Structure 1
Amino acid sequence: MDKQNSKFRWVIFTSVLFTYLIMSSQRTAPGLITDQLMADFSVTAATVGLVTSIQFFIYTGLQIPMGMLADRYGPNFLLIIGAAITGIGTIIYSLGTHEFVLFFARMLTGIGDATIWVNMVLILSQWFNKKEFTRLIDFAGMTGSLGFLMATVPFSVLIILLGWRGAFLCAGVMLCLCSIFLYFVLVKKSKQSSFVTNKIQHEKTSVILRRTLTNRQAWALFFCHFGIVGGYIGFIGSWAVPYAMDVYGMTRLEASQLMMISLIGALIGAPLIGWISSCLGTIKRPYIVFHITVLLSWTIFLLFNEHPPLYLLIILFFIIGFGFGSNSLTFAAVRQSFPITETGIVTGFANTGGFLSAVLLPSIIGYILDHFQSTSGSLSDGYYYGFLTPVIFSIFGLIGVTFIKEKLHQKGKTIDRNLGSKL
């Protein structure tokens, strides 16, 4: 089958993205039932926080190994198994009777979730040419943001109707069905092997990994993803609601609506930025613009002493979400810069940068807030100094994107801009 000219590639695209939509919604959905878990299992908020965060730690730690496995054995098998593991973990979570069961369930969910992005990128890179890929990877990023949006009001309604156990049970069953459907689409219908051994390069995975870790381009992509992802997922997904409640006196519902504004910005930004990049024929220039925009947005919080006017706050949250939509350009640059047989490892390496910042930022801000609350009894100064964290992370991102190497095509010739050689 000629993959990149087949109409069936759109079936592949739709089925993979739908699976990603459901899986991404389960990253933040447990945050909706924190109080219910504390009551049902008689545990502290710290315990619930540990149960919730373990998925992100596992996800981050498995990105490079997942890329190595994907390059070596192909993405089909790993994505099918990953969806099944995530579904099983979510089902166990819904049936849990002890906090240790919940912890184990979220570990399974993290393992399964770690398979989705790297293997989805590889599958799309196999079925679509480079120009289509640059556009569609941004739709993939939009799908992730839509999954986060599903884990707010829509999933809350499902919890009200079915109870939290029934809601998570439905999500788990849906993911298991997605796994079965992916097997039918990726293997049976397309007549592809589910489990293959890549012998194209005849190189050990350790050699490819070593080359990746000494490559300037790979590190540039790591840091540009580090800078653009952590502020959005780390702050918007954890501290945005408490910040709005503590500083602006908003209710939880009002603060949640503010978070949704940022999510809507990400939904709009992902496909629009991909379209802009495709029309300009460049990845680096628009990516630099949006990195600068996000950096300036976080800096404004410091200029207004963590309390900008409400209208400006709404604009800033939207812009930060919109700028986050540009993060898919990282993987468009990976697709452009590295051979297909190494794309998995480099994708995992770059994605590790993004989620490492998403893991670090909430903890750093939480430590700063605890420090100021214990010393002065006020969170005001804590939030001010807390905003230094996304500012610093964004500076790292801007430095990273500046050093990206890009190939521009002009009059049939390939031109390297800002060459990124090995360190």
Structure 2
Amino acid sequence: MDKKNSRYRWVVFTTVLFTYFVIVTQRTAPGLISDQLMKDFNVTASTIGLLTSIQFLAYASLQIPIGVLSDRFGPNLFLIVGAVLNGIGTVIYSLAPNEFVLLIARLMVGMGDATIWVNLVLILSQWFKVKEFVGLLGMAGMTGSLGFLMSTYPFSAWITLSGWRVPFFTVGIILCLCGVILYYVLVKKPKQLIKSDPLANKPSGKIKEKREKTFVLLRRVFSDRQAWATFLCHFGLVGTYVGFIGSWAVPYGMHVYGMTRSNASQLIMIGLVGALIGAPLTSWITTRFESVKRPYVIAHVFVLLSWGAFLLFNGKPPFFLLIILFLIIGYGNGASSLTFVVVRKSFAMKEVGVVSGFANTGGFLSAVLLPSIFGKILDHFHTAPSTVGYQYGFIIPVTFSLLGLIGGILINEQRQEAKQKGE
């Protein structure tokens, strides 16, 4: 069976994307019930913060190991195990009798989540041609944004109707079922198709390549300019968006603009709308102009200018401009899917997993660093007017997005073109 020309590849695409959609809803959904958990389990806000950080720390720390293992043993197994682990963790979370079980459950969810994106990139690389891959990765990015969107008002309404345990239990069961379906779609069915294909049993004439030692591979990746370019790109776009939106966006709207919690949460929705637009639009622009670097650098420039606008207006831009800024910052997060287009076009298939993991580590390292550094700045200026703390706090996303722009400039597009010709 020729994977990249078969109709079956669309079944693979749909199944993998649906699983990714459900998993993404569980990255931020627990934030909807923080106050309820504090009440039900009689825990402090710092404990709730630990529940969040343990999930993302597990995610970030496992990206490179998962990339190495996926390159060695294939992405199918890890995607299946990740979906099931995520599902079991979510079910345990919904049944937790105390905060210790909650912590273990979120750790399991973070470990399961860590396997998803890297292996999604690898699976799409195996089943689709490079030109198809660019547009489909944009759709994958849009699917992730839809997952975040689902975890806001729709999931909140469900929790209001039935309490928090039922929705999390249901989603956990769905994820376990996704793992079973993925096994059939990625492992069992392709084996049947290969057996029924008369051309599949013919010798290919290819000589099996000797596997490179892991240490040698990692050393080469860590010294590669193109790999660091993707790391910095993700660091600048993803971390600034996820880090600020997930921690300080709502307090910012409440403290600086006097908005209610409900109205301030609309800022997150605006960012999500930008992300929904950013992923498919930048993929289309990339395909239309046959260039990844130029549209990606432009996206980085706009995001840097947007964060800079917060500094320019002393932390409080006019409200109409605020809406535009959140839209552009969200757009940049959607455009970050181009990071993995660069990876796919610049590295051999045996290296795509580890480099994708390395790049993804950049984004979530930034997402872990920004909230804590931003918070320390706010604490330092806690006696000053609210705009002062945020004004200085915005130096952090400006700095991070500047690093992202440097990453975009460092991308070597000639290297991508040379690899494509070689293929």
TM-score range, shorter chain: over 0.9
Q: Which of the numbers 266, 273, 289 marks the counterpart of 2:282?
A: 273
Distance 1:251 1:230 in 2: 26
Aligned twin of 1:390: 397
Q: What TM-score do you get using the length of structure 2 for normalisation? A: 0.94
How many positions carry a matched residue from both structures? 409
Aligned twin of 2:69: 69
- Work out whether residues 316 and 387 of structure 2, in 8 Å CA contact, stay in contact via their aligned partners in 1: no
Q: SS of the counterpart of 2:392? A: helix
- Work out whether residues 336 and 407 of structure 1, in 8 Å CA contact, stay in contact via their aligned partners in 2: no
Residue 55, structure 1, aligned to residue 52, structure 2: no
Amino acid in the other structure paired with 2:404: G
- Work out whether residues 345 and 416 of structure 2, in 8 Å CA contact, stay in contact via their aligned partners in 1: no
Aligned twin of 2:411: 404
Distance 2:311 2:392 in 1: 8
Unmatched runs of 5 consecutive residues or more in structure 2: 194-207
Distance 1:221 1:122 in 2: 16
- Work out whether residues 186 and 192 of structure 1, in 8 Å CA contact, stay in contact via their aligned partners in 2: no
State the Cα distance separating 1:205 from its structure 2 match.
Answer: 1.7
State the Cα distance separating 1:411 from its structure 2 match.
Answer: 13
Q: SS of the counterpart of 2:414? A: strand
State the Cα distance separating 1:369 from its structure 2 match.
Answer: 0.8
Correspondence 1:243-322 to 2 at 5 A: 243-322=252-331
State the Cα distance separating 1:200 from its structure 2 match.
Answer: 3.2
- Work out whether residues 249 and 268 of structure 2, in 8 Å CA contact, stay in contact via their aligned partners in 1: yes
- Work out whether residues 345 and 420 of structure 2, in 8 Å CA contact, stay in contact via their aligned partners in 1: no
Amino acid in the other structure paired with 1:236: I
State the Cα distance separating 1:413 from its structure 2 match.
Answer: 9.3
- Work out whether residues 282 and 408 of structure 1, in 8 Å CA contact, stay in contact via their aligned partners in 2: no
Aligned twin of 2:14: 14
Distance 2:62 2:183 in 1: 23
Aligned twin of 1:167: 167
Aligned twin of 1:380: 387
Distance 1:413 1:169 in 2: 45
Aligned twin of 2:368: 359
Correspondence 1:188-207 to 2 at 5 A: 188-191=188-191, 200-207=209-216
Distance 1:387 1:410, change over 3 A: closer
Distance 1:332 1:176, change over 3 A: same
- Work out whether residues 137 and 332 of structure 1, in 8 Å CA contact, stay in contact via their aligned partners in 2: yes
Distance 1:56 1:13, change over 3 A: same
State the Cα distance separating 1:377 from its structure 2 match.
Answer: 4.8
Distance 1:229 1:238 in 2: 14
- Work out whether residues 63 and 349 of structure 1, in 8 Å CA contact, stay in contact via their aligned partners in 2: yes
State the Cα distance separating 1:189 from its structure 2 match.
Answer: 1.3
Which segment drifts farther, 401-410 or 241-250? Answer: 401-410
Amino acid in the other structure paired with 1:127: W
Distance 1:4 1:314 in 2: 42
- Work out whether residues 345 and 419 of structure 2, in 8 Å CA contact, stay in contact via their aligned partners in 1: no
Distance 1:342 1:412, change over 3 A: closer
- Listed one character per residue, the Cα deviations across residues 322-381 of structure 1 (whole Å, up to 9, x for unaligned) are 1211101000000000000111000000100011001110111111111111xx254321
- Cα RMSD over matched residues? 1.9
Correspondence 1:47-126 to 2 at 5 A: 47-126=47-126
Q: Which of the numbers 352, 357, 366 marks the counterpart of 1:348?
A: 357
- Work out whether residues 306 and 383 of structure 1, in 8 Å CA contact, stay in contact via their aligned partners in 2: yes
Amino acid in the other structure paired with 2:389: G
Identity score, percent: 63
Amino acid in the other structure paired with 1:327: S
Distance 1:243 1:163 in 2: 28
Q: SS of the counterpart of 2:259? A: coil
State the Cα distance separating 1:259 from its structure 2 match.
Answer: 1.1
- Work out whether residues 281 and 408 of structure 1, in 8 Å CA contact, stay in contact via their aligned partners in 2: no
Residue 325, structure 1, aligned to residue 334, structure 2: yes
Residue 5, structure 1, aligned to residue 12, structure 2: no
- Listed one character per residue, the Cα deviations across residues 50-86 of structure 1 (whole Å, up to 9, x for unaligned) are 0122100000000000000000100000000000000
- Listed one character per residue, the Cα deviations across residues 13-71 of structure 1 (whole Å, up to 9, x for unaligned) are 11001100111110000000000000000000110110122100000000000000000
- Work out whether residues 408 and 414 of structure 1, in 8 Å CA contact, stay in contact via their aligned partners in 2: no
Distance 1:292 1:201, change over 3 A: farther
State the Cα distance separating 1:249 from its structure 2 match.
Answer: 0.6
State the Cα distance separating 1:408 from its structure 2 match.
Answer: 7.8
Distance 1:330 1:411, change over 3 A: closer
Residue 149, structure 1, aligned to residue 157, structure 2: no
State the Cα distance separating 1:268 from its structure 2 match.
Answer: 1.1
State the Cα distance separating 1:257 from its structure 2 match.
Answer: 1.4
- Work out whether residues 370 and 397 of structure 2, in 8 Å CA contact, stay in contact via their aligned partners in 1: yes
Q: What TM-score do you get using the length of structure 1 for normalisation? A: 0.94
- Work out whether residues 238 and 362 of structure 1, in 8 Å CA contact, stay in contact via their aligned partners in 2: yes
Residue 226, structure 1, aligned to residue 235, structure 2: yes
Distance 1:21 1:371 in 2: 39
Q: SS of the counterpart of 2:316? A: coil
Distance 1:89 1:114 in 2: 13
Q: SS of the counterpart of 1:191? A: helix
Amino acid in the other structure paired with 1:260: M
Aligned twin of 1:418: none
Unmatched runs of 5 consecutive residues or more in structure 1: 194-198, 416-423
Distance 1:222 1:99 in 2: 35
State the Cα distance separating 1:192 from its structure 2 match.
Answer: 8.0
- Listed one character per residue, the Cα deviations across residues 287-327 of structure 1 (whole Å, up to 9, x for unaligned) are 00000000000000011111111111001101111121110
